[in-house]
Chains A and B, each alone.
Chain A
Amino acid sequence: MKAFLILEDKTVYEGKAIGADRTVISEIVFNTSMAGYPEVLTDPSYAGQAVCMTYPLIGNYGICTDDLESTKPWPDGLIVREISRTHSNFRADMPLDDFLKKYDVPGIAGIDTRDLTKRLREKGTMNGMITRDENVDIDEVVARLKEYTPKGVVMKTTTKEIYEVKGATDLSDNGPLGGAAVFDKAAFEAGKKEKAPAIVKELNGAHLKVAIMDFGAKRNIGKSLAARGCSVTVYPADTPADKVLADKPDGIMLSNGPGDPKECVQIIEEVKKMVQSGVPIFAICLGHQIMALAHGFDTYKLKYGHRGGNHPVKDLSTGRVYISSQNHGYVVDVDTVDPNVAEPAFINVNDKTNEGLEYLKENIFTVQFHPEACPGPQDSSYLFDRFIDMMKQG
């Protein structure tokens, strides 16, 4: 079955249909991770986007339910060069294509993904349509594509209810993190399979209570803290600050999430209240951008974003460079950062954009990249230990 990817600039790629039989319009982005497509697909930050994997061979190890970063895939579509007809991994639960079909995600395979990536690199992120309809009117589609903007994606992805992250590694106990879809336990034979070993070295977070603000959180943020012994409670994105603070957390974690941070007007207001409470705060990605906005700094959209597992970030306090996992289209405008309030803590070695802020007078630390990895390098997982130290010093 043929499928088409139509871009705003009228480029049409013809390929093979994969996943669900559904037409979608979405923002097209690319990710350069060579492994980790299950994590990418279930990262809520991709809500409102269709993702192109630049590595050409996708689906080689199927889907291991244990590796999912939320309960369902969030991208509107998946674009690949080749989807493996077979998969081989001792933990695999199902083929990638079945997973896409099960969660109604359409996709396209067999297109020149490098050409698409170059187009996005040169022209900037564009909207596109994935469809199996051979008779679409391109001009009409392009007009619709130009109108599209992802909206309300944070509220779409956040949990509907407050819940606790229980086990450090056992996914099946971890509540409905990441939204409404109910986790399919039947597909996952909990306890029968070997788990990926945790890289945590000590339970330094025992007795600490962490509140995670779920803006579209990846599961491994909660797991990373729980694995260190923290008791972790996850709150819906729109939970008022008073309610969170009433539970007396030792620290607040502002999670990653999808979309334009400036859209989160109400959340920004609540975050301001959290800041005033003096509770230590660690923020990742969207959380980092929201925190900057809460301090009156600005954010802007990158031409084509950072999505992959190979971005070097430099810790400006030590000069050390870490390879990081990244997934963001927006970035904090470092020129708008008030040097009396915050200073850059990390920069991207490639394009020198901001990758983290250290708030000078407040117990707040935020990063643009993903110390929780999944997928990608675990080099910066030490930042969770740093958060624990912040909480201990209170």
Chain B
Amino acid sequence: MPKNPEIKKVMVIGSGPIVIGQAAEFDYAGTQACRSLKEEGVEVVLVNSNPATIMTDAHIADEVYIEPLTVDVLRRIIEKERPDSVLPTLGGQAGLNLGMELEEKGILKEFGVKLLGTTAATIKKAEDRLEFKETMEKIGEPCAPSLVVENLEDGIEFAEKIGYPVVLRPAYTLGGSGGGIAHNRAELEDILANGLRLSRVSQVLVERCIAGWKEIEYEVMRDGAGNCITVCNMENIDPVGVHTGDSIVVAPSQTLSDKEYQMLRSSALNIIDELQITGGCNVQFALHPTSFEYCVIEVNPRVSRSSALASKATGYPIAKVSAKIALGYNLDEIENAITKKTYASFEPALDYCVVKIPRLPFDKFITAKRTLTTQMKATGEVMSIGDSFEGALMKAIRSLEQHVDCLRSVDFTELSKEDLYKRLTKVDDLRIYVIAEALRKGISIEEIHDITMVDAWFIDKIKILTEMEDRLTKEPLTKELMAEAKRLEFPDCVIARLTGKTEDEIKKLRQEQGIRAAFKMVDTCAAEFAAMTPYLYSVFGSVDESGELSVTGKKKKVLVLGSGPIRIGQGIEFDYCSVHATWAFAEEGYETIIVNNNPETVSTDFDIADKLYFEPLTAEDVENIVEVEKPDGAVVQFGGQTAIKLTEHLMKMGVPILGTKAEDVDAAEDRELFDEILQKTQIPRAAGGTVFTEEEAREVANRLGYPVLVRPSYVLGGQGMRIANNDEEITEFIRIINRYAQDHPILVDKYLQGKEIEVDAVCDGTDILIPGIMEHIERTGIHSGDSISVYPAMTISDKVKATIADYTARLARALHVKGLINIQFIAVNDDVYVIEVNPRSSRTVPYISKVTGIPIVDLATKVIIGKSIRDLGYEPGLQPEADYVAVKMPVFSFEKIYGAEISLGPEMKSTGECLGIAKGFDEALYKAFIGAGIELPKHKQVIITVKDSDKGEIIDIGRRFEALGYKIYATRSTAQVLKDNGIHARKVNKINQESPTVMDLILGHRIDLVVDTPTQGRDKHRDGFLIRRVSIETGIHCLTSLDTVTALLTSMESAHDRLSVIDIASVKNRSL
């Protein structure tokens, strides 16, 4: 059927802030879908609270609302925009739930709006545990024995009937949050109670534990006429029991015979046909490892993280095709954009192997439990493509940027064979390294399989890699051995370590031996048809295809280095910058080449750049690309620290760095050089020094006087940054930083307390353009990424603003910045100090671009090419302030990371952000809180427990809570302070005192908020840590900064019944 002509204006719902389980993949899906809808002449209204996304750009949709994703707000937008349809299946679980609510509340009916794609009835059938099970039973598709329970008693009864262990899955939650495996009654009670609370409908599925079975997924598509195809299947190396988002996954499946493959494929098609899904859908199966028995685990009737992975793994654009299906097209009417010879009604054939490895945040949350369960914990992932499984695995490992480049990178050599047997039972992110060590110590493949249930085929592949390590340490490095090591994707640096040579020696030797990387194309069809889209990966020992793809010939070529996996501190913002830079280069007539390894992002979509290299971002891998492409230049300033780290290597390869020069980037990071610049420009900064050892650090700290700020240089997101109050803490923090050998010194600075201010600016070498000044609500000491940021700055004087503009210009010029610069300042009264200068793009770039209407990445790119700010039509200097207030609110995923310390500090912990934009500050703040999921008041009860130094400030806060009608509970000394000041506070006992204690109160579930300012030190057994964890795990908001609490109070005091909604596309650039 051709396009339905009645569809003229579609509202697309995005997925909101990035949280664990719902990340960049929905920006990729949403962006692709919006472009696909616009291509069909449909007007697109986009709603997403996340300002860091590409989908919320004014040119991706026609009307863009960066507003909180609540039913009320959506209703207001529908009322204003009057779309004829809503497309909810591209915004993850959040989008789907909202679509359902709009339907359930009759809002769609009220405004005559159709739900596009899959219908509400279908969503319910797939998502509601009971309906799903009934549907599966009806069509004879097996599910594990299970029961949906709504209370603890029924759960216990059923579990005792089917026997432990049982799996618990709450209905309607993201990334399986609140789920888990219970091995006994105590665990069951624990997990079930939590799951019931987290579920939107208070339902939890209790089912037979099928842990250890093979976990297989199918990505399927179905159109309105009932045509079905599977895009690909994927096999999880970690058997059932680990969330697929936390598993190492391979595509296509490797250990399934055609009989098993087709049995599950037919089942998947049978299921989507019965559910009448239109668009993309993901079906997860558990397959018994030694029989044909299988169970359907779950169906996601929407695009998902897995579908983003499947799209990148195969080249099949699932979101784009889903959008076209939603408009009424059938699969055989949609052209395959890669081959342009085949149609969407075709199943991709892979002639390579794809490996995905999750990026887990345990480097950020060192107190957290590393165990992997059915609850997802990964913040991002990397994907790699190779012609062997071993090679793809090795490439994926080094793409992670976690100080790992081979299976020896996590050292378990100290473990004995006995220790290893025990260690193998532990399911965590290090298991693959444990398996490798077990093989080295002679534990057999069968034994490892019996313990881990990882298929023997995968274990043997790991063994091939450990055998190669062994050969490299023992045998002479002949051409044959080198060729085989490279075929297995051993990087030169690893070969060097194993053979006792230097990396340069290895590189030179292999070049003499003629062993070079070749590039192959991802074409969806295993070379059966000639492909048009250059999407490439490297292999060794094959014929190079990259030469066949001369896109232009005469154009200048630019290499845009991406930002790798999404992690805390380096998120989707840098993908936004990379993509915009690529577009701007293309506009200026360049041939663009993107290198990245993140399957979730827009930058790795097949039609963003002229060429896409899906490769690890290491010097060697990039050099292989440079050798075949010979680019005229590379830009590193948009890809976060990942790209910046490659600067020196690129220069050695003879690739000019476009924009700010490497030595100037260095000058900003190198303490001595930077101090010189500050002196020259006469800009003050907090006193400090550089150190390598604990002793040096203590000496500097004592000279400056505590508190001091301790941090490694060249890091992003304040990784390893702490405020130290005494010598003991210095020792502790330096040891944590020095877990990894530091190439650069550690910085120790005097800690200044004041207002933190941030600017992003574009400099063309002469002039500077500052779109706006952002002010943080939290005082210094809390990482800028975790602070609430307000534009325009509200509380600083014009004099301070002028000083900031002046300092920014001086610094940009002194550092010879060409392109972007990000500077953080502290304003202490009217004095301004510089904290940090980053001559590159930053986390706030998308936000400030959107709220000022000034496309700064675009401008920066054009400046890099040689245009001036004036050429581009802008008057240099600080731009006039907007007549809106925009508040950027950090969003955290603490509930997903068991055992993580939630208190805020100089190290970044948030996973995402949302925006509140309004005419006034109060409303903007209110919207930002709602967007972040903090919708208060509910029960009007608050618990306050603060450290002594905060007791003075708590009085006003207490008074304001009281005025809002809150019942205040406080621990002993906090309660005393409040009472002394005439505030009615109820004293509660500490955890180790007699019941009822503060913990009982929290577990009673009628608390809105816990205000807990942590005492220093990182002892996880302290009361405060427990209180904060329990609050988060029971779904109670917990704030650890009094500034945040004050902001929340302001927002509650000015609660808005009828929120305004603002089309961001109308926030025009005022300087034009």
- A→B interface (CB under 8 Å): 30, 32-36, 38-39, 54-57, 60-61, 64, 66-67, 81-82, 84-91, 110, 112-115, 117-118, 121, 194-197, 199, 308-312, 314, 319-321, 323, 349-351, 373-379
Q: List 24 A-B contacts (CB under 8 A).
A: A30-B528, A32-B525, A33-B349, A34-B350, A36-B258, A55-B349, A57-B388, A60-B255, A85-B460, A88-B455, A88-B457, A89-B256, A114-B520, A114-B526, A121-B530, A196-B259, A197-B263, A308-B526, A309-B347, A310-B525, A350-B346, A375-B262, A377-B262, A379-B228
Which chain A residues border B261 with CB–CB below 8 Å?
34-36
Q: How far is the CA of A85 from the CA of B530 in the complex (A)?
A: 32
Q: Tell me which of B257, B525, B541, B543 contacts A64 (CB under 8 A).
A: B257
Check B351 against A55 for contact (C-beta < 8 Å): yes
Which chain B residues border A66 with CB–CB below 8 Å?
259
Which chain B residues border A309 with CB–CB below 8 Å?
347
Q: How many residues of B contact A (CB 8 A)?
A: 59
Contacts beyond the supplied A36-B257, A90-B289, A112-B543: 18 A-B pairs with Cβ under 8 Å? A30-B528, A34-B350, A35-B253, A36-B261, A54-B349, A60-B255, A61-B256, A88-B456, A114-B351, A114-B542, A115-B543, A195-B292, A196-B263, A308-B528, A310-B525, A312-B345, A323-B229, A378-B265
B776 to chain A, nearest CB (A): 52
Which chain A residues border B343 with CB–CB below 8 Å?
312, 349-350
Q: How far is the CA of A279 from the CA of B292 in the complex (A)?
A: 39
Q: Tell me which of B269, B346, B457 contacts A349 (CB under 8 A).
A: B346
Check B225 against A319 for contact (C-beta < 8 Å): yes
Given contacts A117-B351, A196-B259, A375-B262, contact A56 B528 (CB under 8 A): no
Check A121 against B542 for contact (C-beta < 8 Å): no
Which chain A residues border B541 with CB–CB below 8 Å?
110, 112
Instruction: Pick from A36, A84, A85, A377 the residue with the most CB of B within 10 Å.
Output: A377
Instruction: Pick from A36, A54, A56, A199 the residue with the most CB of B within 10 Å.
Output: A56
Check A379 against B225 for contact (C-beta < 8 Å): no
Is B555 an interface position by the 8 A CB rule?
no
Q: How far is the CA of A32 from the CA of B346 in the complex (A)?
A: 13
Given contacts A85-B460, A349-B345, contact A314 B526 (CB under 8 A): no
Check A376 against B258 for contact (C-beta < 8 Å): yes
Check A112 against B542 for contact (C-beta < 8 Å): yes
Check A88 against B345 for contact (C-beta < 8 Å): no
Is B319 an interface position by the 8 A CB rule?
no
Q: How far is the CA of A309 from the CA of B388 in the complex (A)?
A: 22
Which chain B residues border A67 with CB–CB below 8 Å?
257-259
Check A84 against B457 for contact (C-beta < 8 Å): yes
Query: B313-347 interface mask toward A, CB cutoff 8 Å, 1 = contact, 0 = none?
Result: 00000000000000000111000000001110111
Is B290 an interface position by the 8 A CB rule?
yes
Q: How far is the CA of A39 from the CA of B257 in the complex (A)?
A: 10
Which chain B residues border A114 with CB–CB below 8 Å?
351, 387, 520, 526-527, 542-543
Check A57 against B227 for contact (C-beta < 8 Å): no
Q: Tell me which of A30, A82, A88, A374 contacts B388 (CB under 8 A).
A: A82
Check B252 against A34 for contact (C-beta < 8 Å): yes
Q: Who on chain A is nearest to B349 by CB?
A: A32
Chain B contacts with A in 396-454, Cβ cutoff 8 A: 445
A151 to chain B, nearest CB (A): 27
Chain B contacts with A in 510-543, Cβ cutoff 8 A: 520, 525-530, 541-543
Q: Who on chain B is nearest to A304 by CB?
A: B528
5 residue pairs, one from A and one from B, having the closest CB atoms: A36-B258, A88-B457, A196-B259, A310-B347, A54-B526
Is B1066 an interface position by the 8 A CB rule?
no
Instruction: Pick from B263, B346, B541 the residue with the most CB of A within 10 Å.
Output: B346
Is B466 an interface position by the 8 A CB rule?
no
Which chain B residues border A89 with CB–CB below 8 Å?
255-257
Instruction: Pick from B349, B353, B530 the residue with the most CB of A within 10 Å.
Output: B349
Check B457 against A35 for contact (C-beta < 8 Å): no
Q: How far is the CA of A87 from the CA of B349 in the complex (A)?
A: 22
- B→A interface (CB under 8 Å): 225-230, 252-263, 265-266, 269, 289-292, 330-332, 341-343, 345-353, 387-389, 445, 455-457, 460, 464, 520, 525-530, 541-543
Q: How far is the CA of A57 from the CA of B526 in the complex (A)?
A: 13
Given contacts A67-B257, A115-B543, A323-B347, contact A81 B387 (CB under 8 A): yes
Q: Who on chain B is nearest to A55 by CB?
A: B351
B145 to chain A, nearest CB (A): 19
Which chain A residues border B269 with CB–CB below 8 Å?
379
Check B257 against A56 for contact (C-beta < 8 Å): no
Which chain A residues border B526 with CB–CB below 8 Å?
32, 54-55, 114, 117, 308
Q: How far is the CA of A118 from the CA of B228 in the complex (A)?
A: 29
Which chain B residues border A113 with CB–CB below 8 Å?
351
Which chain B residues border A374 with CB–CB below 8 Å?
258
Q: How far is the CA of A195 from the CA of B445 in the complex (A)?
A: 27
Which chain B residues border A308 with CB–CB below 8 Å?
349, 526, 528
Check B255 against A61 for contact (C-beta < 8 Å): yes
Q: How far is the CA of A56 from the CA of B392 in the complex (A)?
A: 12
Q: Tell me which of B226, B254, B290, B331 contacts A90 (CB under 8 A).
A: B290
Q: How far is the CA of A282 from the CA of B331 in the complex (A)?
A: 28
Which chain A residues border B347 with CB–CB below 8 Å?
309-310, 323, 377
Given contacts A35-B257, A308-B528, contact A321 B345 (CB under 8 A): yes
Q: How far is the CA of A34 from the CA of B226 in the complex (A)?
A: 25
Check A321 against B331 for contact (C-beta < 8 Å): yes
Q: How far is the CA of A358 from the CA of B155 in the complex (A)?
A: 57
Which chain A residues border B229 with CB–CB below 8 Å?
312, 323
Q: How far is the CA of A375 from the CA of B342 in the complex (A)?
A: 22
Q: Who on chain B is nearest to A117 by CB?
A: B527
Q: Tell me which of B227, B228, B350, B460 contacts A55 (CB under 8 A).
A: B350
Given contacts A86-B457, A117-B528, contact A56 B345 (CB under 8 A): no
A144 to chain B, nearest CB (A): 26
Check B262 against A321 for contact (C-beta < 8 Å): no
A122 to chain B, nearest CB (A): 8
Check B348 against A378 for contact (C-beta < 8 Å): no
Check B388 against A38 for contact (C-beta < 8 Å): no
Check B346 against A39 for contact (C-beta < 8 Å): no
Given contacts A86-B460, A323-B347, contact A199 B292 (CB under 8 A): no
Q: Who on chain A is nearest to B445 by CB?
A: A86
Given contacts A112-B543, A310-B349, A378-B266, contact A38 B529 (CB under 8 A): no
A64 to chain B, nearest CB (A): 6
Which chain A residues border B257 with CB–CB below 8 Å?
35-36, 38, 61, 64, 67, 89, 91
Which chain B residues border A88 with CB–CB below 8 Å?
255, 455-457, 460
Check B350 against A310 for contact (C-beta < 8 Å): no
Check B389 against A57 for contact (C-beta < 8 Å): yes
Which chain B residues border A85 with CB–CB below 8 Å?
460, 464
Which chain B residues border A379 with CB–CB below 8 Å?
228, 266, 269
Q: How far is the CA of A142 from the CA of B196 in the complex (A)?
A: 73
Instruction: Pick from B229, B262, B263, B530 the residue with the most CB of A within 10 Å.
Output: B262
Q: How far is the CA of A54 from the CA of B256 in the complex (A)?
A: 17
Which chain A residues border B543 with CB–CB below 8 Å?
112, 114-115
B652 to chain A, nearest CB (A): 31
Check A34 against B262 for contact (C-beta < 8 Å): no
Check A196 against B529 for contact (C-beta < 8 Å): no
Instruction: Pick from B259, B260, B353 the residue with the most CB of A within 10 Å.
Output: B259
Q: Who on chain A is nearest to B464 by CB?
A: A85
Check B262 against A373 for contact (C-beta < 8 Å): yes
Check A35 against B256 for contact (C-beta < 8 Å): yes
Which chain A residues border B330 with CB–CB below 8 Å?
319, 321
Q: How far is the CA of A61 from the CA of B261 in the complex (A)?
A: 12
Which chain A residues border B527 with CB–CB below 8 Å?
54, 114, 117-118, 121
B239 to chain A, nearest CB (A): 13
Which chain A residues border B387 with CB–CB below 8 Å?
56, 81-82, 114
B763 to chain A, nearest CB (A): 47
A391 to chain B, nearest CB (A): 25
Q: How far is the CA of A55 from the CA of B232 in the complex (A)?
A: 13
Check B351 against A377 for contact (C-beta < 8 Å): no
Which chain B residues border A84 with CB–CB below 8 Å?
457
